[in-house]
Structure 1
Amino acid sequence: MTILIHDADRHVIETPDIWQDYVDTAEIKGFEYNLTYDTQHKAEQRALRLGQSARVVLPPTLKLGEYPLLNCWNEDIQIESAKVFHKSIDKRKRAAAPNTMLQDMDDTHIHSASLFPNVASYIINHQSISHQASIAYARGYNTWLYEYCSHNPVRLKGVGLISRHDPSSMISQLEAIEKMGWTSITMRPEIIAGHHLGSSAYNEFWQACEEKGISIAFHGGSNLQAPTAGTERYTSRFALHACSHFHEMQLAFLSLLDAGVLERHPKLKLGFFEAGSSWLLSWLWRLDNICYTEFPGLINNRIKMRPSEYFKRQCWVTIEMDEPCLAQVIKTIGHDRLLFGTDFPHPDHLHFDYTNLETQNADIKPAELVDILQHNPKQFFGY
């Protein structure tokens, strides 16, 4: 079977020169992007102090002005990341430019892809950055990505990046993205600048997205310098990574549901990315059968259907091909609500095998697989 695979979650790599070439330095004063590079000499010193396993040159240390870009990114994780990231260095180099990105897509039989940010998401959502600098970085990233995708707009699909630091600016940001011809945006699921996704500060923004037919892809990640599920109790990479993607998607859906956003905007298209889909089963069951039925008089003005009905009506979720429970997920929300993304070029997702898709998971029927890989993305992204 020939499937024109659309990669619904593929990442670009932003090289440091982007922030020099596409961002106004006056607007980011005090929050300049800078890197400190490690050396072999420092690696030798670490080996003397910590043992031979620490004899590695670390990835650059990233900062915005005086502020570390990443949260809980200590020496231990830097050492371990240096050991892991070398596995994906060639892939990350390919993701930095459109021609090599397309070469990799050809090699893995990816026909087209929706492109998401890498470091830019951590920059514009940093809890210490000014709203002016956050917006400037988002604007610069979108301008660079537009030029990147212009290399082959049929295959390279930009997903616009929105800064949430100043809610009053979000509609104008959306309008600028719309003028680029893009039909989707990406936002973090966390509390950003004091606002969760259900905040009334975003009411007009959600309405604008619905009216313009712009889809929203919620995409999180670990080690953000902002409140993220797990940061109130953990500092280890293991624990933070376990919580950040999975629980933030649950909380994002709940925030929008509880605030009545889904009830007020039935045509708003929402996607929940890079957390798999198995989180949905227990979450929707609990919301439907325990929370929804407990005190109906308290919610009947903003949640008029079972939560699962809202999800089936206007939400999509990305899957992992080898995750359990896919048959039950399909039974619960329908296969037409599933998307697949490779998460290229991140080192924890380098196992995509296009030659074996039909047998990787017996829970997905061949016709359903065609929809997930080819047709569903068109419905969500509006291509």
Structure 2
Amino acid sequence: MSKDGLFIVDADSHWSERADLFTSRAPAAYKDRVPQPRDVNGVPTWVMDGHAMGRFSPGGVVARDGSKEEADKALHHWTFDQIHLGAHDPKVRIGVLDDLGIDAQIIFPSTIGLGGQDLGSVDDAALTRLTIQIYNDEMAEIQEQSGNRLLPLPLMPAWDIDFCVSEARRVAALGARGVNMTSDPQDLGSPDLGDPAWDPFWEACTELHLPVHFHIGASVTGMTFYGKYPWPSHDANTKLAIGGTLLFIGNARVVTNLILSGIFDRHPGLQTVSVESGVGWIPFILETLDYEMSENAPRQLAGMKKLPSEYFRSNIYATFWFEKNQGKLAALVEAVGEDRILFETDFPHPTCLYPAPLEAVEEKLNTISPEAKAKILGENARKLYRL
């Protein structure tokens, strides 16, 4: 509990995936094929069945001693003996939560793909099924052993709709409180999420009370944009800042497509979360959607059950952590909806609020009502994740 007696939930944090995450649980016949770090041209790389996926690294900036390192150095040069133990050890992570005054934490991957998209890069159904289930089983065990204080979201195999449905049902039975989904399954050979072929998945998630999470950069498409945002002449640290800035706004693309897809008309109870995207851009995008649809697609607008902007308050959440809004936070919260904002720290990633997340947001959150503050810091998440 925080010093004010509020229930605090961190709705976005990350693991640093350890080297034996998959090999430690794989059957003997698959130990050499599941994802594992190997040297590829001098770079530590996740390799799955001979296919290079992405850099293997701690993927964070919080050091073993609790200090924070420069992002480019930490992300590209650190080894696991340098990252904070809480980045990958669940027991130590609980201690981090206690130190920070946080009651529960939602956790996402780092270097295997923020939405697990990299795990679908091999064309072997048995191998990809095993890999996804190894990850999801370990996350379920961590959640149970933590007494529902750590909630690492299971990954969805977006390359196979039927498997997504069955895996959603399986992880729900294991206690999952949500699922982590790539925003662009078409990258992996499936229809895009607006295709009615996905309706059985949305139906299952609605029935099982599993909010569907779309983390920034959680697709091949999203990370391709990330690499192209900065101009080549920028230095490495500035490129990281530019990429990070525009990844936040990149989730406007996901929210826009979700709203206009008809998904929420067909599944009005479905809940989704735009993760690590911030909230400042949301009022503008919602206003723009209403205007653009009225100007450019009035017939399609007439076929929607609500204005585009109205779907956010019924079907979408977003996460808040660093924004100040120049003393206008109250107006922003009113525009987005105090029931639709979650708090996050992003531990141990480069933009994290560590080492004092509650202190970092205290002054700005004191400009809104106590009721809204309590909702944003934890009560919205308590309801969404059934805590």
Q: TM-score range by the shorter chain?
A: 0.7 to 0.9
Give matches, 1:1-383, under 5 Å: 1-24=4-27, 26=29, 32-36=35-39, 60-70=44-54, 81-83=72-74, 92-121=84-113, 124-126=116-118, 128-130=121-123, 132=125, 133-191=127-185, 192-194=187-189, 195-221=191-217, 225-226=220-221, 228=223, 230=225, 233-234=228-229, 237-238=239-240, 239-247=242-250, 249-292=251-294, 294-301=296-303, 303-324=304-325, 326-351=329-354, 352-355=356-359, 357-361=361-365, 363-383=367-387
Distance in 2 between residues matched to 1:26 and 1:242, nearest whole Å: 43
Counterpart of 2:273 in 1: which secondary structure?
Answer: strand
Deviations, residues 273-296 of structure 1 (Å, cap 9, x unaligned): 101111212210100123245432
Are residues 307 and 123 of structure 1, via their aligned partners in 2, closer, same or farther at CA, if it must alter by over 3 Å?
Answer: closer
Q: Percent identity?
A: 23
Tell me if structure 2 keeps the 8 A contact 1:37–1:60: yes
Tell me if structure 1 keeps the 8 A contact 2:158–2:164: yes
Deviations, residues 156-182 of structure 1 (Å, cap 9, x unaligned): 224221110112211111111111011
Distance in 2 between residues matched to 1:321 and 1:177, nearest whole Å: 32
Are residues 365 and 2 of structure 1, via their aligned partners in 2, closer, same or farther at CA, if it must alter by over 3 Å?
Answer: same
Are residues 128 and 181 of structure 1, via their aligned partners in 2, closer, same or farther at CA, if it must alter by over 3 Å?
Answer: closer
Distance in 2 between residues matched to 1:101 and 1:136, nearest whole Å: 27
Distance in 1 between residues matched to 2:346 and 2:147, nearest whole Å: 20
Task: Tell me which moved more, 321-330 or 199-208.
Answer: 321-330
Distance in 2 between residues matched to 1:114 and 1:31, nearest whole Å: 25
Structure 2 length-normalised TM: 0.80
Counterpart of 2:113 in 1: which secondary structure?
Answer: helix
Shift of 1:229: 6.2
Task: Tell me which moved more, 135-144 or 349-358.
Answer: 349-358
Counterpart of 1:372 in 2: which secondary structure?
Answer: helix
Tell me if structure 1 keeps the 8 A contact 2:329–2:364: no
Counterpart of 1:378 in 2: which secondary structure?
Answer: helix
Q: Which runs of 5+ in 2 are unaligned?
A: 58-69, 233-238
- State the AA in 1 paired with 2:106: S
Structure 1 length-normalised TM: 0.81
Shift of 1:254: 2.1
Aligned Cα root-mean-square deviation (Å): 3.2
Deviations, residues 223-262 of structure 1 (Å, cap 9, x unaligned): x645546269547644543333421x21222222222001
Distance in 1 between residues matched to 2:331 and 2:30, nearest whole Å: 49
- State the AA in 2 paired with 1:130: D
Shift of 1:20: 0.4
Are residues 164 and 10 of structure 1, via their aligned partners in 2, closer, same or farther at CA, if it must alter by over 3 Å?
Answer: same
Distance in 2 between residues matched to 1:257 and 1:30, nearest whole Å: 39
Q: How many residues align?
A: 355
Distance in 2 between residues matched to 1:109 and 1:103, nearest whole Å: 10
- State the AA in 2 paired with 1:102: I
Shift of 1:80: 6.7
Distance in 1 between residues matched to 2:377 and 2:46, nearest whole Å: 35
Tell me if structure 2 keeps the 8 A contact 1:188–1:220: no
- State the AA in 1 paired with 2:164: M
Deviations, residues 12-64 of structure 1 (Å, cap 9, x unaligned): 232111210223465687664223299xxx9xxxxxxxxxxxxxxxx833333
- State the AA in 2 paired with 1:116: F
Counterpart of 1:209 in 2: which secondary structure?
Answer: helix
Counterpart of 2:22 in 1: which secondary structure?
Answer: helix
Tell me if structure 2 keeps the 8 A contact 1:70–1:122: no
Deviations, residues 207-229 of structure 1 (Å, cap 9, x unaligned): 1111222111111338x645546
Counterpart of 2:13 in 1: which secondary structure?
Answer: strand
Distance in 2 between residues matched to 1:184 and 1:7, nearest whole Å: 14
